[in-house]
């Protein structure tokens, strides 16, 4: 989990030329064991709340933080010196992935410092900034923000567990100016604000950098109006260190209505400094940058596949017009219904505009008539029927894009970084079929 010791490890391990492997603390023991063994890790540093994993996970050297501090930090021994090499591997970041086994993304020191410098420029970091760690540090090394802010001399406020009211309290008490977050964290802050007693802290001071999935336009509007925080959208992947594009309020949009401003901020954005974007004939987003991964650890064939032709193949579908990238969907998430392509994000945006919808995920399920049936999986805040939601979408979308079926769930399955795990939603409908298309 997020902690001062984990933050220090970005510098204490990498600064001596060793390879850091941050591990998602929510993983099951078997998944952690796979990462430890696949990476070849020799030293395992364990959070005191996770010692139960040691029944199934081990390494040549195991230390529990807090319990074994004297053994770790005591004495006069010093690490072997390291001359420094920006092309050397700095971190292995295992993807939260939708495949059986996660892939180890090999990032170099050059990848990481260039990502940090570029990120810092685009979000205008300075030594006056106070970063609240609302993003797991294990996820793409906190997007590189630990490196950027430390390099500029800013202040870190470590949040161990995401909690809406606690986020607002830290913003108030610690003078927080910036945070990075998945959409689920944004929702937690908005929910807390609805029950907050007094003025919302951080108004006209905080900027929140969001990635993971394009949030609905209504959510962006609420962040800007209800919280009074600046909304910055970025797009990237663990494999790209991660920053690829940035979308921040532009002076030429100031005369637009807030809704139109929010709609424009919902795009993935313009390429960050040093990034080139292209769309191939199948609609896949391709990128070239100084922060693309060195490779997948011990997976040369997969590395060659994603880097074919000198471009990194993101696996995301999108369009690139007027200098702005818009992510339409994961390629495999495009629903083909009645011969027409339906991007789930567009349908999710329409559903989320209904006041009774808290969250929505849209998938395609097998259907004899349509091939794939546009199906909405909805978490509702109030009383609403499937028929009402379908009718609501008809006023915003072409008929073939509207959900034909609506299921209500208590919550959506998510990864540790807030991404909806659509493969889990699809599984009950597709598990008995040979192919994942119909």
Query: pLDDT digits over 189-200, tens only?
Result: 999 999 999 999
pLDDT higher than threshold 90 for residue 354:
yes
What are the pLDDT digits (tens) for 150-178? 999 999 999 999 999 999 999 999 999 99
What is the pLDDT at residue 330? 66
Q: How confident is the model over 47-64, as a mean pLDDT? A: 95
Q: What percent of the chain has pLDDT over 90?
A: 73
pLDDT higher than threshold 80 for residue 98:
no
Instruction: Identify the residue with better confidence: 413 or 438.
Output: 413
What is the pLDDT at residue 82? 93
70 touches 48 (CB < 8 A): no
What is the pLDDT at residue 96? 57
375 touches 362 (CB < 8 A): yes
- pLDDT category of residue 339 using cuts at 50, 70 and 90: low
What are the pLDDT digits (tens) for 75-87? 787 888 899 999 9
Mean pLDDT of all residues in the chain?
A: 91
Q: What percent of the chain has pLDDT over 70?
A: 95
pLDDT higher than threshold 80 for residue 69:
yes
User: In this structure, is the dihedral angle defined by the CA atoms of residues 126, 168, 162 and 9, taken in order, positive or negative?
Assistant: positive
pLDDT higher than threshold 90 for residue 335:
no
Give exposure, 68-92, as e/b (b: 16+ Cβ within 10 Å): eeeebeeeeeeeeeeeeeeebbbbb
Q: How confident is the model over 113-120, as a mean pLDDT? A: 98
């Amino acid at each position: 989990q997020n902690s001062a010791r984990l933050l220090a490890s970005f510098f204490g391990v990498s600064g001596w030329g060793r390879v850091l492997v941050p591990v998602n603390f929510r993983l099951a023991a078997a998944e952690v064991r796979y990462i430890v063994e696949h990476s070849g890790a020799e030293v395992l540093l364990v959070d005191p709340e996770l010692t139960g994993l040691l029944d199934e996970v081990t390494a040549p050297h195991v230390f529990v933080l807090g319990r074994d501090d004297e053994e770790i930090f005591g004495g006069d021994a010093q690490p072997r010196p390291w001359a420094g090499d920006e092309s050397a591997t700095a971190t292995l970041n295992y993807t939260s992935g939708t495949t059986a086994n996660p892939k180890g993304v090999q990032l170099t020191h050059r990848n990481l410092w260039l990502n940090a410098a570029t990120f810092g420029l685009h979000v205008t970091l300075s030594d006056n900034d106070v970063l609240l760690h609302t993003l797991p540090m294990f996820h793409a090394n906190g997007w590189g923000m630990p490196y950027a802010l430390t390099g500029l001399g800013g202040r870190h406020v470590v949040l161990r567990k995401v909690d809406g009211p606690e986020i607002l309290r830290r913003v108030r008490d610690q003078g927080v100016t910036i945070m990075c977050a998945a959409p689920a964290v944004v929702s937690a802050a908005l929910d807390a604000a609805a029950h907050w007693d007094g003025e919302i802290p951080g108004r006209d001071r905080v900027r929140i950098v969001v990635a993971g999935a394009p949030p609905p336009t209504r959510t962006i509007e609420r962040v800007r109006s209800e919280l009074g925080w600046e909304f910055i959208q970025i797009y990237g992947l663990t494999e790209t260190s991660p920053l690829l594009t940035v979308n921040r309020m532009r002076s030429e949009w100031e005369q637009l209505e807030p809704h139109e401003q929010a709609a424009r901020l919902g795009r993935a954005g313009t390429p960050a400094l040093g990034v080139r974007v292209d769309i191939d004939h199948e609609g896949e987003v391709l990128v070239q940058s100084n922060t693309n991964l060195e490779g997948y650890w011990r997976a040369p064939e997969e590395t060659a596949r994603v880097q074919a032709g000198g471009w990194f193949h993101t696996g995301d579908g999108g369009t690139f017009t007027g200098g702005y990238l818009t992510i339409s969907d994961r390629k495999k998430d495009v629903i083909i219904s009645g011969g027409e392509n339906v991007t789930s994000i567009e349908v999710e945006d329409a559903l989320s505009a209904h006041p009774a919808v808290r969250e929505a995920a849209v998938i395609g399920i097998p259907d004899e008539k349509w091939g794939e049936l546009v199906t909405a999986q909805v978490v509702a805040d109030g009383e609403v029927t499937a028929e009402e939601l379908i009718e609501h979408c008809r006023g915003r979308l072409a008929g073939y894009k509207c959900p034909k079926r609506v299921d209500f769930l208590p919550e959506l399955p998510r990864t540790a970084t807030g991404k909806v795990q659509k493969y889990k939603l699809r599984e009950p409908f597709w598990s008995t079929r040979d192919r994942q298309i119909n």
